[in-house]
Structure 1
Amino acid sequence: MAQDCGRQYERVAEIGGGAYGTVYKARDRQSGQFVALKSVRVQTDQDGLPLSTVREVALLRRLEQFDHPNVVKLMDVCATLRTDQETKVTLVFEHVDQDLKTYLNKAPAPGLPPERIRDLMHQLLHGLEFLHSHCVLHRDLKPENILVTSRGQVKLADFGLARIYSCHMALTPVVVTLWYRSPEVLLQASYATPVDIWSTGCIFAEMFRRKPLFCGDSEVDQLRKIFDVIGLPPEEEWPADVTLSRSIFIPVSPRPITKCVPEISQLGADLLKEMLTFDPLRRISALNALSHPYFQEG
């Protein structure tokens, strides 16, 4: 780990702030290359080592050896000891000028052509399958965390950093959008890689609609909006040991997905339905989604 980011990287502009800190566009003083800097403060043990951070950074470094085209490149890591109990870790990523939200907003009416959406989805799933095959969950997929280069290349960003942020999250009130969270996360049940597939399904629908699919203002409201589309799941699918009872929700039947996303093709609707399956064990995987007939369409 390099010890001082300040000497090597000159901040140019603030890109955005989030629950986990501010992201800056910066210039590498040696190469002149633009990069993105993301800093987070982590608590350290009695020897001054942020162990979870070390583990996570080692994993991210290992992923870099594969140089996957659909995952943003981690270029450097800097650690600065602030106090005996706290270290500032700065992650240096390749810089991409726009995220998917900006890309969608810039598309002229009536929005992106179907073949462009298909290409973006295929790339997104390729990046996701790569992460999942290496046991990395994203946990916070949304249009702002998906970058699109000027050549239309998709790159997943902000992946695999949940453990780095875990200490920080206890110190700071975290408000992350509910709109892309899976039912098992909303119910505070156990979760795994299917959480990312649910989020991807929400993003897939948004590419056609040009607005989010489920816009709840609380966990319960978000679940109600989800059930209004996919229907209230049967009792046997409701996870055990969760605080919210199924009985508080009105029984509703599923609506055809094409009612909510009218521009989508029948094959696209079938894939979307498999992504927005309530039971995570029955939800399609990234690997199987890549083989779906939707990607042979047209």
Structure 2
Amino acid sequence: MAQESTVQYEPVAEIGGGAYGTVYKARDRDSGQFVALKSVRVQTNQDGLPLSTVREVALLKRLEQFDHPNIVRLMDVCATLRTDQETKVTLVFEHVDQDLRTYLEKVPAPGLSIDRIRDLMQQLLCGLAFLHSNRVLHRDLKPENILVTSRGQVKLADFGLARIYSCHMALTPVVVTLWYRSPEVLLQTTYATPVDIWSTGCIFAEMFRRKPLFCGDSEVDQLGKIFAVIGLPAEDEWPTDVTLSRQNFSPQTPQPITDCVPEISEKGVELLLVRLRSLSLHIQLQCYQSKKQ
């Protein structure tokens, strides 16, 4: 990781903000190319940056060698010492003009065609399969982290950063959205790659609805909204290693997914239910089963 300033990159505009800082569109002074700058402040110790942070950044740089078409490119990493106890790590990514949230907002009525949704999902899953095959969990997959180029190419962004961020306090009071988090993440139990599949299912539904599927304002509220659709798990399916009890939720029976996503096709229902059923062994949630199966 280069111990250097970001003077090579000239900020042009603020293009986003979150719980971990501000994202800037910048210009590379050498090449003239536009890039996206994302920074996080890391607590340093007597040996410098934490080994966990160095490993995560090294992994992101290694993935760059594959040049996958559905993965945003990490172009540079800069580490600037702010104080003896803190270092600012800036990751320099290729710049893409819009994310999936903006893309969906621009779609005129009646919404995306089935063929376009199929294409977007194919690219999204292709990028996700690449990450998982390289043992990378995204952990924060949402429309804001899915970029869409002017040519309709999907690129996953912010993968691998969740683990870097989770080790440090948020820089702003912005609340991280819960809407795409899987039940096992909300319950703070052990999880693996299915957490990204759950998020993908929520995003898939949103492509039809053009609005989020589950909009909770707390972990408990988010889980309640999920259970209202897919049903409350049985007592013997509830994980034992969590502090949140099953008794915190009222009994719920599964509802037809078409009640929530009326625009979805029959094949889309089957695919969405596969996504929402793909959870870790710690919690197997029951989804609505179509009578046509």
User: Under TM normalisation by the shorter chain, which class is it?
Assistant: over 0.9
Q: Which residue of 1 aligns with 2:288?
A: none
| 1:43 paired residue number | 43
Is it true that 1:180 corresponds to 2:180 in the alignment?
Answer: yes
Deviation at residue 169 of structure 1 after TM alignment: 2.4
Change (3 A) 1:25 1:93: same
Separation (CA, whole Å) in 2 of partners of 1:219 and 1:10: 39
Give the corresponding residue for 1:270: 270
Say which SS state the counterpart of residue 76 (structure 2) adopts: strand
Superposed displacement of residue 283, structure 1 = 9.7
Cα contact 1:274–1:283 (8 A) shared by 2:
no
Question: What is the match of residue 115 of structure 2?
Answer: 115
For the 8 Å contact 1:37–1:93, the answer to whether it is kept is yes
With the length of structure 1 as denominator, give the TM-score of the two structures: 0.91
Counterpart in the other structure of 1:103 = 103
Residue in 2 that maps onto 1:287: none
Counterpart contact for 1:233–1:278, Cα < 8 Å: no
Judged with a 3 Å threshold, the aligned counterparts in structure 2 of structure 1 residues 247 and 49 are, in CA distance, closer, same or farther, namely closer
Query: Aligned letter for 2:15?
Result: I
Corresponding residue SS for 2:68: coil
- Mapping 1:1-298, distance limit 5 Å: 1-169=1-169, 175-277=175-277, 279-281=279-281
2:194 and 2:278 in contact (8 A); partners too? no
Instruction: Indicate how the Cα distance of structure 1 residues 193 and 109 shifts in structure 2: closer, same or farther if over 3 A, else same.
Output: same
Alpha carbon RMSD of aligned pairs, Å? 1.8
Larger mean CA deviation between 143-152 and 174-183 belongs to: 174-183
Runs of 5+ consecutive residues of structure 2 not aligned to the other structure:
285-293
2:36 aligns to what SS in structure 1? strand
With normalisation by structure 2, the TM-score equals 0.92
Whether contact under 8 Å (1:34, 1:94) holds in the other structure is yes
Runs of 4+ in structure 1 over 6 Å off: none
Q: Tell me if structure 1 keeps the 8 A contact 2:22–2:38.
A: yes
| More displaced stretch, 46-55 vs 67-76 | 46-55
Deviation at 1:142, TM superposition (A): 0.8
Partners of 2:101 and 2:31 in 1: how far apart?
30
The sequence identity of aligned pairs, in percent, is: 83
Q: Is 2:70–2:126's contact at 8 Å kept on the other side of the alignment?
A: yes
**Is the 2:19–2:170 contact (alpha carbons within 8 Å) kept by the matching residues of 1?**
no
Output one character per residue of 1:79-102: Cα deviation in whole Å (capped at 9) or x when no partner. Answer: 111112111111000000000000
Q: Secondary structure at the match of 2:169?
A: helix
Q: How many residues align?
A: 284
Q: Which amino acid aligns with 1:152?
A: G
Q: Which amino acid aligns with 2:78?
A: C
Q: 2: CA distance between counterparts of 1:50 and 1:119?
A: 40
Q: Taking structure 1 as reference, are residues 247 and 278 closer, same or farther at Cα in structure 2, changes over 3 Å only?
A: farther
Give the residue type in structure 1 aligned to 2:268: G
8 Å CA contact 1:194–1:283 kept in 2: the answer is: no
CA distance, structure 2, for counterparts of residue 278 and residue 216 of structure 1: 21
The one-character-per-residue Cα deviations of 1:211-234 (angstroms, maximum 9, x if unpaired) are 111111111111111011101111
Answer whether contact 2:99 2:146 (CA < 8 A) is retained: yes
For the Cα contact (< 8 Å) 1:277–1:283, is it kept in 2?
no
Distance 1:106 1:206 in 2: 14
Give distance in 2, aligned partners of 1:59 and 1:48. 19
Structure with the bigger percentage of helix: 1
Amino acid at match of 2:277: T
CA spacing shift, 1:160–1:81, aligned 2, 3 Å? same
Three-state SS of the structure 2 residue aligned to 1:83 is: coil
Cα 1:282/1:155, change in 2 over 3 Å: farther
Q: Which moved more, 1:183-192 or 1:92-101?
A: 183-192
Could you tell me how far 1:167 is from its partner in structure 2? 3.2
Rounded Cα–Cα distance in structure 2 between residues aligned with 1:99 and 1:283:
31
Q: Residues 237 and 279 of structure 1 are in contact (CA less than 8 Å); yes or no, is this contact kept in structure 2? A: no
Which amino acid is 2:256 matched to?
A: P
CA contact (8 A) 1:228 1:252 kept: yes
Structure 1: state its 5+ residue gaps: 285-298
